[in-house]
Amino acid sequence: MDSVQGSASCVVPTAAARVRLRPLEPTGVQILGGLLGDRQRVNREVTIPHGTEQLERAGTFENLRVAAGRSQRGRRGMVFSDSDVYKWLEALAWETQRQPSPELERLATETTELVAAAQQPDGYLNSYWQLEGRERWSDLEMGHELYCAGHLLQAGVAAARAGSPRLLGIARRVGDLLVDVFGSDSDPRTDGHPEIEVALVELYRETADRRYLDLADKLTSRRGHGFFAGGRFELSYYQDVEPVRGSRSIVGHAVRALYLAAGVTDLYAETGDAALLDAMLAQWDDLVSTKLYLTGGVGSRHEGEAIGDPYELPPDRAYCETCASIASIMWNWRLLLVTGESRFADLIERTLYNGFLAGHSLDGRSFFYANPLQSRGGDARHSWNPVACCPPNIMRLLASLHHYLATVNDRGVQLHQYATSTVRAVVPSVGPVELAVETGYPWSGSVTVEVVACSDAEWTLSLRVPAWARRAGVDGAAVEPACNAEVTRRWKPGDRVELELDVSPRLTLPNPRIDAVRGCVALERGPVVYCFEQADLAAGANLDDVALRTDAAPTDSDPPARLGGVPGVSVAGVVRDVEGWKRAGYLDVRELPRDGAATPARLLAIPYFTWANRGDGGMRAWLPRFD
């Protein structure tokens, strides 16, 4: 198999691609510890084995066995269940690339053979459509056939980059079939659930077969002409309201919108079609200024799993599907490669430490599908779900997390996310560079970067300074937030740079147009959003009656019990007595009960992503202001 690039991370632009930054080589970054290292370890040791068990228990592997003629049992699960296997296979690929494992390699090989056996002679592969007696491609709106194919393609590309080309061969046969079936210029069809686009671009990158890129372009360009008119949902659900080129609003089903955006950005990178990038940058602005949760989560409505209207951001009914956070990280990574701008790495960070990490429990064995910013109690992660898209998506992101930390370009090396790690890059015209990063990030804002090896040519070390950092310094000199701080010199081994970011806890206010959290304030510490749980309140106090003072700065406090040592934050507030309101929904402004006592209280906040690890009491990320 021919490969355009020897590089092997999860996005590999071709040599001709319009990108300012490029991913590192296969094992360019190794995370050695800290929060992200711990999450990678739990993923490998607990979550992936748990996923293997659950895919067996749910019948998801079995469906492929039935399709392969190796089992007579009935098919089970959702129409898109095969994609759960493919995402899990992608996780195995990145994980075994990261660190060999005979057991994971055996599982991957066995399952790849099973997938091969289930594939039909013409390349078609989808256990639901093969077994349920329905005609192929007869329900593009909700049938998820190209969606499943997309995840297979991504898994095949990942496996090849990790050194196992077998799954890529299967994926190519699927890709070739798609080119045959959907490649005609006059064909108006596309898939109701985007995902194939981003996968086809990567398949092109891995195989240099331009037909895949062309098909990605066609499937993208067919959107916005009402192909799904008369379907079960409004056209926005499928991103079919208006053509992508020229579309400046991000709308509809959140995961669909964000997978599409990742694909469109990749398509821009490989085609240079500026209208695509214009649309993506406009949609990003629309997202960040009017449709983004503080946690980086996206999706305001359970109904239609949709991005809502501008400023429609309810904390309690937030959908913020874990898959949407993952898709957002995928999209922002591509925008970062294309533009080099720190704001995209900022959003990766916000999403990673909050909306994404909250999607699984600290022990790695249970999962949230929706990630609200407020719960009135009763919300608990599940060990699996009939719609199991999120858990294997979490697995593949955690297994490839190190891909998102650093990049390289002609001028040097860029660090975007901070973790204790080694970073190895080859800077063109400079040669190999090796860095050792040490930090307690995100809990500490001190990051030490030591040059371990390099030639004596001049190059630039670039360090992202997050927008949230009110004070930041590089080697003692103040730097502005919201940029990449650059240090250019002739480096020698042993040289060190110290980045200092102020992660002291801070209070955050919402845009006045966000109706749902009017009069509220949130608490953040570095990149981490905090929240309040009923579990941490004094007996008798109700989380819904708590308010925060904004005239006193929050302070660090001891790690809360049973949360693995993450730092707590202490903040001044009150517990209000709303007894006078009992039984009244609404009262005449002139007949209000006198406010009862507002009892001062010292309130403990915990990182948002650790919520619901100590029972299913209430939780709030936004609390009313008391001032």
Considering the candidates 195, 242, 305, 524, report the single residue annotated as catalytic: 305
Q: Is 305 assigned a catalytic role?
A: yes
Residue in the block written with tokens 């045959």: 180
**Which of 435, 603 has the CB closer to a second copy?**
603
Residues in contact with a second copy by CB under 8 A are 285, 288-290, 292, 294, 301-303, 308-317, 374, 376, 468, 470, 506-522, 544-545, 550, 576, 578, 581-592, 624
Name the minimum Å distance from CB 347 to a second copy.
Answer: 11
- C-alpha–C-alpha distance, residues 494 and 447, integer Å: 15
Residue found under tokens 């860029």: 414
**Angle formed at CA 279 by CA 275 and CA 282, multiple of 5 degrees:** 140
Of residues 124 and 626, the one with the C-beta less far from a second copy: 626
For residue 145, the minimal CB distance to a second copy (Å) is 24
Judged by CB, which is closer to a second copy: 583, or 594? 583
**Cβ(556)–Cβ(569) under 8 Å?**
yes
- Tell me whether residue 456 or residue 586 sits nearer to a second copy (CB atom): 586
User: Which among 486, 483, 466, 467 is positioned nearest to 475, based on CA atoms?
Assistant: 486
From the number of C-beta atoms within 10 Å of its C-beta (0-12, 13-18, 19+), residue 69 rates as: exposed
Establish whether 389 is a catalytic residue: yes
Contact indicator for 612, 539 with CB cutoff of 8 Å = no
CB-based burial, 389-415: b 16+ in 10 Å, e otherwise:
bbbbbbbbbbbbbbbbbbbbbebbbbb
**Minimum distance from CB of 77 to a second copy (Å)?**
15
Contact 528, 613 (CB under 8 A): no
Q: Please report, as a single letter, which amino acid is at residue 183.
A: G
By the 8 A CB rule, do 194 and 182 touch? no
**In this structure, what DSSP letter does residue 288 have?**
I
Q: How far is the CB of 451 from a second copy (least distance, A)?
A: 34
Identify the three-state secondary structure at position 267: helix
Rounded to the nearest whole angstrom, what is the least distance from the CB of residue 93 to a second copy in the complex?
Answer: 36
Phi, psi of 434 (to 5 degrees): -125, 130
DSSP annotation of 291 reads I
Least distance (Å) between residue 24 CB and a second copy: 31
The catalytic residue among 10, 389, 390, 454 is 389
Q: Kindly tell me which of 273 and 524 has the beta carbon lying closer to a second copy.
A: 524
Question: CB-wise, 119 or 247, nearer to a second copy?
Answer: 247
Rounded to whole angstroms, what are the CA distances from 256 to 263, 314, 361? 11, 21, 25
CB of 519 to a second copy, least distance (A): 4
* Nearer Cβ to a second copy (20/376): 376
Catalytic residues: 305, 389
